[in-house]
Amino acid sequence: MGKSVTPAGFSIGGWCGINPGGDPFGEAVRNIGTDEFLDVLGKTAIKRVSFHDRDLWPDDAAPGLVTEVIGHTKQHCSKAGLEIYNFTSNNFSNPCFRSGAFSSPFPQVRAAAIVKGCNAVDHANEFGAKHVIWWGGREGSDGAYEQDPGLGLARYMQGLKICVRYGVEKGYKLIHTVEPKVYEPRLLALYAGTGASAASAIRHHFSEPAFAGKVLVNPEYPQHVMMLNLDPVFELGQLMEEGMLAPFIHFGGQIAGRMDCDLPPGFGSNVYTDFMIVLTLNRRGWKGVVEFDCRPPRTTTSVQGLSGFLNAAVGYWRMLEDKVAAYFADAKIAELEGALMAAEDSTVGGLLTASSVTKGVGQLRANFKGFAAAAEVNTDVIEAYQRRVMSIITGTAK
Ligand code: GLO
Ligand code: MG
């Protein structure tokens, strides 16, 4: 059981810092440029930053401009003490992607997505980024189901595979991560669910050994899961158990059941759930990076406000880490965990490794004392566990 509660560090999407705070009904409320944001960021504990291509240059920029911006951005980041962590192709803002990108029914649009994606793979390498994120915001439909959905998903994965293979052929040391989200901006995304369904699509379409460990899932917690009223903790458990979790997660705040809020961490959230995300990562000794993908609320308009938001995002995660440390140090929790996470006993534990399951089940049957006896197990320990965790979170544990 891991006891270290510090992630490898923090990162943030550059697009969060420069977000002007407009919404479909209201104008921009902030005007903070990339350089100014990087200077503010450099003074916080967040030492990594990620970009979309389009955060830095227009989609049709001439190669000379791209080279110039890459040089300037690298220089400015290094001056501010920042590492460029992830790079991603924005395959959702350009009007050409209104029918989808890799999965569009139209071949010329799929070609555009592949060109843009492979350019992003090159740029990720030039920036020295660790991962290329693939969030398919437009890969879906607005309700027409205009192509066979299985074909749509296959096209989506095929486009991605071309970009991944392109990077492999070029010899780049990049990990690719798929970021799932079920809706918004398209009303229906091609994944039938969130992280688990993306993982299943990856396993099916990237089954060749050459891709092993090269395409993983980067979930966004709690936003992309709680916007559906689903549970991020169980999803995280599955991704970790199946070895599909990327070396980083996106993190922010979300009011359950609403469209993607990307609120400051802790806003709108269930603190018990947020705590369990951090606990689950730590139990398995996760050493990844927490990348904030959220922004100040629209009511925050100044550079000082942005700085407060960044420090508070780290502060919220650190608060959760402190609570997790208190959890690991708590004798009562150790006792409760002992009851709840007891190792498999020999009766059941050996069944799957035995030469004959039938023989083992026969033994079980012979020793079975009846269902009433099985019901005698003391399950009150579960509520006691919840109460103890809550008292640790609220600082009321005695
Ligand atoms: C939107 C996503 C988006 C991605 C980003 C990185 O809901 O969270 O911000 O994380 O485009 O590819
Ligand atoms: Mg995200």
Instruction: Give mean pLDDT, residues 168-177.
Output: 98
CA distances from 110 to 141, 216, 281 (A): 15, 22, 37
- Cβ(135) – ligand 1 distance below 6 Å: yes
Of 281, 305, 329, which closes a domain?
Answer: 329
Question: Does one domain contain both 310 and 360?
Answer: no
Torsion sign, CA atoms 234, 291, 207, 119: positive
pLDDT band at 1 (very low <50, low <70, confident <90, very high): very low
Question: Does one domain contain both 92 and 119?
Answer: yes
Closest-CA residue, ligand 1 atom 7, reads 260
Does residue 5 carry a pLDDT above 70? no
CB 147 within 8 A of CB 105: yes
- Which of 182, 220, 228 gets mutated to test ligand 1 (max ligand atoms within 8 A of its CB)? 220
> What is residue 352's predicted lDDT score, i.e. its pLDDT?
84
Question: Does one domain contain both 258 and 354?
Answer: no
Q: Is residue 2 part of a domain?
A: no
Question: Does one domain contain both 282 and 337?
Answer: no
Among 280, 200, 203, smallest CA distance to 237 is for 280
Q: Is residue 47 part of a domain?
A: yes
Question: Does one domain contain both 13 and 153?
Answer: yes
Q: What is the domain-level CATH number for residue 286?
A: 3.20.20.150
Does residue 359 carry a pLDDT above 50? yes
String of b and e for 64-83 (b: at least 16 CB within 10 Å)?
eebeebbeebeeebeebebb
Atom of ligand 1 nearest to the CA of 134: 12
The boundaries of the domain holding residue 372 are 331-394
SS3 percent helix, strand, coil of the chain, rounded to 5, is 50, 15, 40
- Listing DSSP states for 39-63 in one string gives HHHHTSS--EEEEEHHHHS-TT--H
Question: Does one domain contain both 279 and 381?
Answer: no
- Ramachandran category for residue 294: left, alpha or beta (phi over 0 → left; psi -120 to 50 → alpha): beta
pTM of the model: 0.96
Give how many domains the chain has, as a whole number. Answer: 2
Instruction: Give mean pLDDT, residues 267-277.
Output: 96
> What is residue 4's predicted lDDT score, i.e. its pLDDT?
54
- Cβ(181) – ligand 1 distance below 6 Å: yes
Q: What's the 175 CA to ligand 1 centre distance in angstroms?
A: 17
Q: What's the 135 CA to ligand 1 centre distance in angstroms?
A: 6
> What is residue 175's predicted lDDT score, i.e. its pLDDT?
98
Question: Does one domain contain both 124 and 149?
Answer: yes
Question: Does one domain contain both 199 and 340?
Answer: no
Q: What's the 58 CA to ligand 2 centre distance in angstroms?
A: 21
Q: Where are the beta strands (DSSP E) in the chain?
A: 9-13, 48-52, 83-88, 131-135, 140-141, 175-179, 188-189, 215-217, 220-221, 248-251, 289-292
